[in-house]
Structure 1
């Protein structure tokens, strides 16, 4: 099979901790042809969607670190492979957030010809923090506005701590906890986040959400879903002096047994995810409430593998092999 990965530069990735590296390594180990491309490599030639891809297939059997150095060398030395993208069997869309809308728009017309993980149209809807609003009864109290006065009134009426989240950021960036106990700073923060110096239509919408105190003692849970089914999970605890659990901001990972309520939550969201073509996602749960759905390059495989002595990437590649085979029947 021909399996391509649209992703970040190979040199920017630490393979020991990156889900994309685990998926690529497993693909190569199985003897598939592996291709590498970045968003800017996609273009149109005579109404056909093509890409400046590189064949980075190397002999299987190397340790992961050696494999990664080998494919970096292959990517540097190998001539460009100009291929029609429809000649691929599978395309993994693994470019880190934010979503590159230009490449997604060009890929959408061929999504019925190449099996993509995840589907371009689904990623357009699913990459936003607003996607959780499809499941309002599963989430903490949530408000979204660009009006500082309205946002301040929401926080005042709520009475307790709330969390401000910029809609367009990721990895915990820009997320802060606010309350009415510090009114002077609260006004300044709200005005800063929405950009209140700009005309109303140009301001940034922000999410204000109920702060779940359990995150300090219990952390949050990252659950990986494959075609709507749970394939792995881990607990993430915030570092000292913080409530953010993201690994990129210093959170720590621990083994986690998915609770019955967490399983029920996953069953609730499964039909929507599958319908939208969001086959491989990571969801974040605090105190058994849905906080976020991550569909743009969701991570967690290497850490969950270490914590549970498993190989989740094998299940993912099994799945894409099966889906590709069904399309060819």
Structure 2
């Protein structure tokens, strides 16, 4: 099986990224891998879709650090590959990272993923589903019972009125974005910093304002779902709690959040079950839920991260389970041919 990982840039990859762990697991199971970036697609006059892919030797690496070192070094080769010769195109880019500096690149994965699918490639997550999830507005299509009370607006007066109704304060963040960038807590519409925060965040477009959930002070839970169901291996769930640093409201690990073990309760499983039908409908193969209390703050469908922390914490190779699931899908396609659609394969 040949797996192509679509990323924002080769230079931006790190040894602890989930993408690196997935590539390591794929090589360990005997598959070929390559990396593709937004500028690497070529649609030729004969309608053949090609990629200029960065390939690694088909070695079985034992450490993600070694794989990453080779990825950044001189052991890689650029090969022009017909997309039809790729079994899986794994879309692992974050569109928000490209939105400001090179907006042309933000939607390349979904655009060319749509062209790759009818050419026989299993594209995960489904590009049609991802096209509708380019920002946090996608989250509003999920059942209201799992969503915090939310306002989406660019009008400061609307935002002030909403804040006035939320006795415990609100969280303000850009509608388009990721990684905890420009996330602020406001306790009152009279907050002296509200105008400055509004100016800083609204420059990126619409704002999303969510009622503050007190349990957020203890951090959120990143919970992985695969094929619409909790990712589980050896009796352990792929989940962990991210505890914010002192004085921080963001629990993101890169913002000095601390990863901790977490027990998955029936309540958390019920939350996951509530969002499962839409995830399956949209062809979302691998996603990360960010849960606080009985609510989901975000659903990460592009580059859900954290498998490095989770795998080390529980001494379990969850990435191998992800690659094994892709193997099953490719085997199913071989058995049933084109009668199984790309979207069906994504969540079977």
TM-score, scaled to structure 2 = 0.86
- Structure 1 57/274 Cα, relative in aligned 2: closer, same or farther at 3 Å? farther
**Matched residue, 1:213:** 214
Mapping of residues 99-118 of structure 1, within 5 Å: 100-112=106-118, 113-118=120-125
How far the C-alpha of 1:228 sits from its partner, in A, is 1.2
- Structure 1 190/96 Cα, relative in aligned 2: closer, same or farther at 3 Å? closer
Please give the secondary structure, in 2, of the residue aligned with 1:68: helix
**Matched residue, 1:19:** 18
- Across the aligned residues of Structure 1 and Structure 2, the Cα RMSD in angstroms comes to 1.9
**Matched residue, 2:301:** 295
Compare 83-92 and 20-29 and name the one that shifted more: 83-92
How far the C-alpha of 1:191 sits from its partner, in A, is 4.4
Compare 62-71 and 41-50 and name the one that shifted more: 62-71
Whether the 8 Å contact between 2:3 and 2:34 is mirrored in structure 1 is yes
**Matched residue, 1:81:** 79
- Structure 1 326/142 Cα, relative in aligned 2: closer, same or farther at 3 Å? same
How far the C-alpha of 1:320 sits from its partner, in A, is 0.5
Please give the secondary structure, in 2, of the residue aligned with 1:34: strand
Paired residues in the alignment total 318
- Structure 1 305/180 Cα, relative in aligned 2: closer, same or farther at 3 Å? same
Rounded to whole Å, the distance in 1 between the matches of 2:63 and 2:145 is 46
Rounded to whole Å, the distance in 2 between the matches of 1:166 and 1:110 is 31
TM-score, scaled to structure 1 = 0.91
Runs of at least 5 residues in structure 2 that lack an aligned partner in the other structure: 99-105, 232-237, 336-348
How far the C-alpha of 1:192 sits from its partner, in A, is 4.3
Mapping of residues 280-291 of structure 1, within 5 Å: 280-291=286-297
Rounded to whole Å, the distance in 2 between the matches of 1:124 and 1:75 is 34
Please give the secondary structure, in 2, of the residue aligned with 1:317: helix
- Structure 1 326/143 Cα, relative in aligned 2: closer, same or farther at 3 Å? same
Runs of at least 5 residues in structure 1 that lack an aligned partner in the other structure: 196-202
Rounded to whole Å, the distance in 2 between the matches of 1:160 and 1:64 is 43
**Matched residue, 2:130:** 123
Whether the 8 Å contact between 1:140 and 1:291 is mirrored in structure 2 is yes
Rounded to whole Å, the distance in 2 between the matches of 1:244 and 1:263 is 24
Mapping of residues 189-200 of structure 1, within 5 Å: 189-195=197-203
**Matched residue, 2:49:** 49
Please give the secondary structure, in 1, of the residue aligned with 2:70: helix
How far the C-alpha of 1:102 sits from its partner, in A, is 2.8
Rounded to whole Å, the distance in 2 between the matches of 1:38 and 1:191 is 33
Rounded to whole Å, the distance in 1 between the matches of 2:7 and 2:201 is 30
How far the C-alpha of 1:281 sits from its partner, in A, is 0.5
**Matched residue, 1:199:** none
How far the C-alpha of 1:208 sits from its partner, in A, is 0.8
**Matched residue, 1:200:** none
Rounded to whole Å, the distance in 2 between the matches of 1:67 and 1:158 is 48
How far the C-alpha of 1:175 sits from its partner, in A, is 0.6
How far the C-alpha of 1:54 sits from its partner, in A, is 2.7
- Structure 1 75/10 Cα, relative in aligned 2: closer, same or farther at 3 Å? farther
**Matched residue, 1:94:** 92
How far the C-alpha of 1:233 sits from its partner, in A, is 0.3
How far the C-alpha of 1:109 sits from its partner, in A, is 2.7
